[in-house]
Amino acid sequence: MRIEVLVDVKTTLGEGPLWDVEEQRLYWIDSFDGRVFRATADGREVRAWDVPQKIGSMCLRRDGGAIVSLQRGFHTLDFKTGVVAPLYDPEPGLPQNRLNDGKVDRQGRFVAGSMDTMEEGPSGALYRVDPDLSVHTLDRNIICSNGPCWSPDGATFYFADTWSGEIWAYDYDVGTGAVSNRRTFARVDRSRGGAADGATVDAEGFLWNALVYDGRLVRYAPDGTVDRIIAMPVKKVTSVMFGGPDLDVLYVTSMAKPPLPRFPDDGPLRGSLFAIHDLGVRGLPEMRFAG
């Protein structure tokens, strides 16, 4: 196994690595600075787009452009012009909230949640954006939405409320996008101050989760047991995604500055985008939004 700094851009809050198999490009975001990045698999040809608000996540659209979950609702992003246009704000009466982590299911629907910006109260919710751009609520009473991803067959949905100390699993109706039967998939080891952040599922059905503030990546078996732990060179790792031409490189984002003063600082590699090679594991292609 080899860990390298792929791009040292010092993202204030790096998040959401997204490998697109069509373009063979890696996308990631700076949540606090409101920026979308793109690079080649080996970190070259770095390009960036500014968005007008804090950004929690993004997904690519089948016909081009992206859907971005900004502080005040879902928006479209045109990569050619840089224009950002509003779609729908599901929480107009909750100014203390912002949209956060999200991913696309196997059928092309975008699932993203919201969070309390102080990470204290359960004012957040989990939403699904369908290809017709309608928005539906899947769950409520969430402090900080993180880590949405699916089993290889798409029938199990994984999700974490970061400060609950748990990663949850739901039954996921692949036909309708409805969720049911929420249960505890894994309990997170918080003894070192970490918490569940971004996640992805590999081709073997194992879930990889970034333990933010703990500097570790954990691979969970399908039964929720810990299979492997990787120590990273920074504490504030935020999310993970497999990519590269063979989907065998694990990309890891991190933050340069903690969002609240109670969280720890890091060394000179803070905010870097990392690549982990030679894991002997491959990921699954990420889907594009069907709308």
**Which residues are CB-contacts of 259 (< 8 A; sequence separation ≥ 6)?**
13, 32, 119
SS3 164: helix
Question: Among the options 197, 214, 248, 266, which is catalytic?
Answer: 197
Tell me the sheet residues that pair with 145. Answer: 161
Tracing tokens 């890696």 back to the chain, one arrives at: 26
Residues 14, 19: Cα–Cα separation, whole Å: 15
Measured from the Cβ of residue 120, the count of other Cβ atoms closer than 10 Å reads 12
Which token pair is 43? 């970190």
> How far is it, in rounded angstroms, from Cα 246 to Cα 51?
31
Q: Alpha-carbon distance 127 to 129, whole Å?
A: 7
Annotated binding-site ranges for a divalent metal cation: 15, 146, 197
Structure tokens at 47: 């390009």
Phi, psi of 38 (to 5 degrees): -145, 145
CB atoms within 10 A of CB 87: 16
Return binding residues. Answer: 15, 98, 100, 146, 197
Q: Could you list the residues known to form a binding site for substrate, using ranges.
A: 98, 100
Enumerate residues 6+ apart whose C-beta is below 8 A from 262. Answer: none
Does the annotation mark 197 as catalytic? yes
Helices (H) and strands (E) in the chain, counts: 0, 24
| 245 close to 41: Cβ distance less than 8 angstroms | yes
Q: What share of the chain is helix, strand, coil (3-state, %, to 5)?
A: 0, 55, 45
Task: Point out which residues pair with 3 in neighbouring strands.
Answer: 276
- Just list the catalytic residues: 197
